[in-house]
Structure formats: C-alpha cells, structure tokens
C-alpha cells in the first residue's frame, strides 16, 4: 500500500521493517495508519453514493423526494414480493427469523 499520499500522511519509515525488533509503533503512527485505512475503506462508498445522487435526475422524476437507494430498494421489494403488504410481512418475518431461509 505504497504511494505518495501514504508517504505524506504516515511517513515512509512505516513501510520499512524496523531494525530494532523491540520497537513499537507510536500513537501518532497508529492513528495515522488507522485514519488512512478508514478513509480508504469509506472513499468508494462515498464516491458511489455521490455518483448515484448525481445520476438520480436521469433515472427518476426530479421532483421525487426519495433517495436513489430507496428507489432501488423499492423496485427490488416490489419485484420480489409484489405490492401485497401481507405477503411482504410474512416473507420479511420468515426470512429474518429463519437464517436458513436465505440459503
């Protein structure tokens, strides 16, 4: 996981093996490494979420106040169980209470 950004944030010495086997990472090195790991993990989600909001007017009515994820989820639910609330309740309760139903 090298690169210029990592070297700027955490320092290049973090990637070089320590000559001293008893040396432990400092709190600052740990915080920098963890912050970068969390940022690298969340960045794709944030990018996809913002891209979905940008594309929302192309696929939905721009006056629709639902978010793009709610729109997609609604289509998935209606496509699977239909518009029947009773069947949706039975299907949801059975699937959630019985993990083997997902197999």
Task: Give me the domain span that covers residue 85.
Answer: 60-103
Q: In total, how many domains does the chain have? A: 2
Q: Are residues 28 and 45 in the same domain?
A: yes
As to burial, measured by CB atoms within 10 angstroms (0-12 exposed, 13-18 middle, 19+ buried), residue 10 is buried
- Same-domain status, 100 and 67: yes
Q: Which residue has the higher pLDDT, 4 or 69?
A: 69
78 and 98 assigned to the same domain: yes
**Same domain, residue pair 9 and 53:** yes
Q: Name the pTM for this structure.
A: 0.50
pLDDT value of position 16: 56
Which of 34, 15, 19, 18 lies closest to 4, judged by CA? Answer: 15
Q: Is the pLDDT of residue 53 over 60?
A: yes
Check whether 81 has a pLDDT greater than 50. yes
54 and 72 part of one domain: no
């Amino acid at each position: 996981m090298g690169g210029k950004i990592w070297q700027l944030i955490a320092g290049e010495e973090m990637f070089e093996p320590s000559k001293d086997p008893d040396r432990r990472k400092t709190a600052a090195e740990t915080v920098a490494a963890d912050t970068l790991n969390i940022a690298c993990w969340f960045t794709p989600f944030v990018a996809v979420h913002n891209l979905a909001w940008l594309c929302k007017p192309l696929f939905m009515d721009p006056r629709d106040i639902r978010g793009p994820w709610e729109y997609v989820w609604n289509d998935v639910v209606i496509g699977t169980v239909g518009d029947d609330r009773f069947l949706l309740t039975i299907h949801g309760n059975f699937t959630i209470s019985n993990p083997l139903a997902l197999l």
